[in-house]
Amino acid sequence: MNVLNLSEPSHGDIGAERKLLTPCTIVIFGASGDLTARKLIPALYHLFKDKQMPQDFRVVGFARREKTDDSWRKELRADLDEFSRTKPVDDKIWADFAGKIHYCQGDLTDTAAYHKLENLLTSFGHASLRENLLFYLAISPSQFGTVVEQVHHTGLLNKEGAGWQRIVVEKPFGHDLASAQALNRELTRFAHEQQVFRIDHYLGKETVQNILMFRFSNSIFEQLWNRNSVDHVQITVSEKIGVGARGGYYEEAGALRDMVQNHILQVLSLIAMEPPVSLEAEAVRDEKVKLLKSIRELTPEDVARQVVRGQYFAGQVGGEARPGYRQEPKVKPDSNVETFVALKLFIDNWRWSGVPFYLRTGKNLPLSASEVRIQFRPTPNVLFAAKCGKSLGANALTLRLQPNEGISLRFNGKVPGSTISARPVRMHFSYDSEFGAYTPEAYERLLLEAIVGDATLFIRRDEVETAWQIADSIRNGWDGKPLTNREFYSAGTWGPIAADDLLAQAGHEWHEPAVIR
Ligand SMILES: NC(=O)c1ccc[n+]([C@@H]2O[C@H](COP(=O)([O-])OP(=O)(O)OC[C@H]3O[C@@H](n4cnc5c(N)ncnc54)[C@H](OP(=O)(O)O)[C@@H]3O)[C@@H](O)[C@H]2O)c1
């Protein structure tokens, strides 16, 4: 990854890697919102606590609600007490950090408010704090265009000029290809694509970043990573929670937009991409896009055959009663929104030709887990297979992204005794036991990368758009087709039966995420 040579640097240190940081101001639009309280301020506090922030920096919050610097700091401290990953919050460190936090009250549409913001930045008395600006848009995407235009007209955001300016945006990046393209056009009207940092918090997870390290630094696996050895791949992102209070959002999104278009396709592209020529942001992102582009297009007929959607009805999850999706607050009583998706994709390139990739995600499933399972081809059906039959399971490698982050390898061992019988056994690697509990929040890593200016872990415009093409082709197959009885599943189960049938057609079956103790 990049190490930028900037003036007046200090060092941010993640693992063995040291990064050069310049003084800057982080301007959060949407400062009174949920994301700021739960994720952004705790992440910045921990970066500061761990001495990862630039030597000099400021955090400026922008929102409509009336607050003073002091009243906002008090609110943030209360939020931090609740959401911090380390407790208790250190009073001394907080006091030092809070001294760098400021609030700018204003409406996003009001030009005068941006001049007030500019005056505040200038009052910090250091050119870098006025010119090196990270604009974090913790607001609705419909407001992105307004902010970008206003900060540009106020002279705070420039394509060329002094310092650096970057814009960080959160998903959703549109709700289909057309809206994503429109959003991208708005974002890049006054900024280069290289200044736009699109966050997918999945990419901030250590275990997701480890996929590339694992694949390209271990020759024993690297040589097996292709159609000659791999039988199929399963990616599961299951959630034990239902939609709860997020019914209004979910009615517009559904599992396909909420999970598949972004997180799951991101994981798939890291699992299946070709080795990049370097770890430079563009080299890695080029390969991810190439992979997404080699996913075989789905016609409406393919969608009917290869994609299963589902919606939960009332049931029990872990002994707890859950309402059906249609009974959740802010959900239409006849909603057809999917809370579960399972699909089979093929990647039409040299490496993966003919290998099925099964992806699934859903809400109100029996447990919360994200993992990738690479199932290898079976050995020839001679010698042991003839005697051991079904107990001679296929070798499998499981990358556990969360929880119990780690890697497991499944292979067959002989059961001791005079008879020839086999039993699958596992080798486990667990992050916690190997490296200790180093568990920074994804936002810490991502905010630091954005401050440094390394875009490797952020989604490029063509990645977002290609992923939307895939999601749109699935939606086209569903268009105008209400859910049928076969597409409902009881809360607390692994989705509709059709999801099992999807794999059974090829003699495969879903594997429950491993629970490692
Ligand atoms: N919350 C999460 O964990 C999460 C996760 C992933 C993505 N996101 C995305 O991040 C964005 C923010 O989410 P959120 O949950 O933080 O939303 P939120 O709680 O509704 O906060 C929205 C913020 O925008 C400000 N705002 C709205 N209209 C404004 C205006 N005209 N002028 C100035 N400020 C305005 C609000 O401040 P005032 O009301 O004080 O004006 C508030 O601070 C959304 O796009 C969301 O989809 C959030």
CA of 38 to the centre of ligand 1 (A): 12
Residue nearest to atom 10 of ligand 1 (CA): 138
Cα–Cα–Cα angle for 127, 132, 134, rounded to 5 degrees:
145
Looking at the CA of residue 36, tell me the nearest atom of ligand 1: 16
CA of 510 to the centre of ligand 1 (A): 38
CA dist list (Å): 480 to 70, 177, 215, 310, 469: 53, 19, 42, 16, 19
Residue nearest to atom 15 of ligand 1 (CA): 34
- In this structure, what token pair is assigned to residue 229? 């050895």
In the predicted model, what is the mean pLDDT of residues 464-468?
Answer: 98
Residue nearest to atom 22 of ligand 1 (CA): 33
Question: What is the number of other CB atoms lying within 10 angstroms of the CB of residue 69?
Answer: 16
**Pocket of ligand 1 contains residue 299 by CB under 6 Å:** no
Residue 435 has pLDDT above 90, yes or no: no
In the predicted model, what is the mean pLDDT of residues 16-24?
Answer: 73
Residue 9 has pLDDT above 60, yes or no: no
Question: What is the number of other CB atoms lying within 10 angstroms of the CB of residue 513?
Answer: 24
Looking at the CA of residue 38, tell me the nearest atom of ligand 1: 3
At 108-128, the pLDDT tens digits run: 999 999 999 999 999 999 999
At 279-312, the pLDDT tens digits run: 999 999 999 999 999 999 999 999 999 999 999 9
**Sheet of 307-313, strands arranged across:** 422-430, 406-414, 396-402, 369-376, 230-238, 356-362, 340-346, 307-313, 488-490
Give the global pTM: 0.93
Indicate the top mutation candidate among 66, 83, 104, 140 to test ligand 1's pocket, ranked by most ligand atoms within 8 A of CB: 140
Average pLDDT, the chain: 93
In the predicted model, what is the mean pLDDT of residues 445-465?
Answer: 96
Q: What is the DSSP letter of 24?
A: E
pLDDT of residue 1: 38
Residue 3 has pLDDT above 70, yes or no: no
CA dist list (Å): 368 to 240, 314, 315, 331, 371: 5, 18, 16, 23, 10
| Domains, in order of start, for the chain | 10-170 (3.40.50.720), 203-439+459-504 (3.30.360.10)
Residue 419 has pLDDT above 80, yes or no: yes
- In this structure, what token pair is assigned to residue 327? 């009974």
Q: pLDDT over 70 for what percent of the chain? A: 95
DSSP string for residues in 395-414: PEEEEEEESS-EEEEEEEEE
| CB 291 within 8 Å of CB 269 | yes
Residue 489 has pLDDT above 80, yes or no: yes
**Pocket of ligand 1 contains residue 30 by CB under 6 Å:** yes
Residue nearest to atom 4 of ligand 1 (CA): 35
**Pocket of ligand 1 contains residue 32 by CB under 6 Å:** yes
Q: Which tops the pLDDT comparison, 443 or 387?
A: 443
pLDDT of residue 515: 66
In the predicted model, what is the mean pLDDT of residues 157-163?
Answer: 92
| CB 516 within 8 Å of CB 510 | no
Residue 16 has pLDDT above 70, yes or no: no
Query: How far apart, in whole angstroms, are the C-alpha atoms of residue 101 and residue 60?
Result: 6
CA distance between the termini of the chain? 34
Residue type, 358: Y
Residue type, 280: E
3-state secondary structure of 91: helix
Q: How many residues does the chain have?
A: 517
In the predicted model, what is the mean pLDDT of residues 455-476?
Answer: 97
Query: Which has the closest alpha carbon to 266: 1, 139, 456?
Result: 456
Q: What are phi and psi of 327, to 5 degrees?
A: -100, 0
Q: Which tops the pLDDT comparison, 3 or 296?
A: 296
CA of 35 to the centre of ligand 1 (A): 7
Residue nearest to atom 18 of ligand 1 (CA): 33
Residue nearest to atom 2 of ligand 1 (CA): 35
**Pocket of ligand 1 contains residue 442 by CB under 6 Å:** no
Residue 208's H or E segment, with its range, is helix 206-216
Label the pairing between strands 101-105 and 230-238: unpaired
pLDDT of residue 8: 43
CA dist list (Å): 293 to 91, 296, 462, 463: 50, 8, 10, 9
Residue nearest to atom 24 of ligand 1 (CA): 30
State the alpha helices, DSSP H only, in 6-57.
34-35, 41-49
3-state secondary structure of 366: coil
**Pocket of ligand 1 contains residue 110 by CB under 6 Å:** no
**Pocket of ligand 1 contains residue 89 by CB under 6 Å:** no
**Pocket of ligand 1 contains residue 33 by CB under 6 Å:** yes
Looking at the CA of residue 106, tell me the nearest atom of ligand 1: 33
Residue with tokens 């696996």: 221
CA of 364 to the centre of ligand 1 (A): 26
CA of 81 to the centre of ligand 1 (A): 21
Residue 470 has pLDDT above 70, yes or no: yes
Query: Which has the closest alpha carbon to 508: 497, 500, 498?
Result: 500
pLDDT bucket at 386, cuts 50 / 70 / 90: confident
Query: How far apart, in whole angstroms, are the C-alpha atoms of residue 171 and residue 175?
Result: 10
Indicate the top mutation candidate among 34, 117, 137 to test ligand 1's pocket, ranked by most ligand atoms within 8 A of CB: 34
**Pocket of ligand 1 contains residue 289 by CB under 6 Å:** no
Which range (10-14, 329-333, 355-359) has the least confidence? 10-14
3-state secondary structure of 159: coil
| Active site residue ranges | 263
**Pocket of ligand 1 contains residue 80 by CB under 6 Å:** no
| CB 234 within 8 Å of CB 376 | no
pLDDT of residue 463: 97
Query: Which has the closest alpha carbon to 62: 126, 133, 12?
Result: 133
Looking at the CA of residue 110, tell me the nearest atom of ligand 1: 32
pLDDT of residue 436: 81
Distant-in-sequence contacts of 349-356, Cβ < 8 A, 24+ apart: 349/291, 349/294, 351/225, 351/226, 351/227, 351/272, 351/274, 352/226, 352/227, 352/230, 352/272, 352/294, 353/227, 354/227, 355/227, 355/230, 355/231, 355/232, 355/233, 356/232, 356/233, 356/506, 356/508
CA dist list (Å): 427 to 58, 214, 224, 397: 47, 16, 18, 10
**Pocket of ligand 1 contains residue 31 by CB under 6 Å:** yes
pLDDT of residue 71: 97
| CB 214 within 8 Å of CB 399 | yes
Residue nearest to atom 3 of ligand 1 (CA): 35
Question: What is the number of other CB atoms lying within 10 angstroms of the CB of residue 212?
Answer: 18
Indicate the top mutation candidate among 64, 68, 79, 447 to test ligand 1's pocket, ranked by most ligand atoms within 8 A of CB: 64
pLDDT of residue 306: 97
At 47-89, the pLDDT tens digits run: 999 999 999 999 999 999 999 999 999 999 999 999 999 999 9
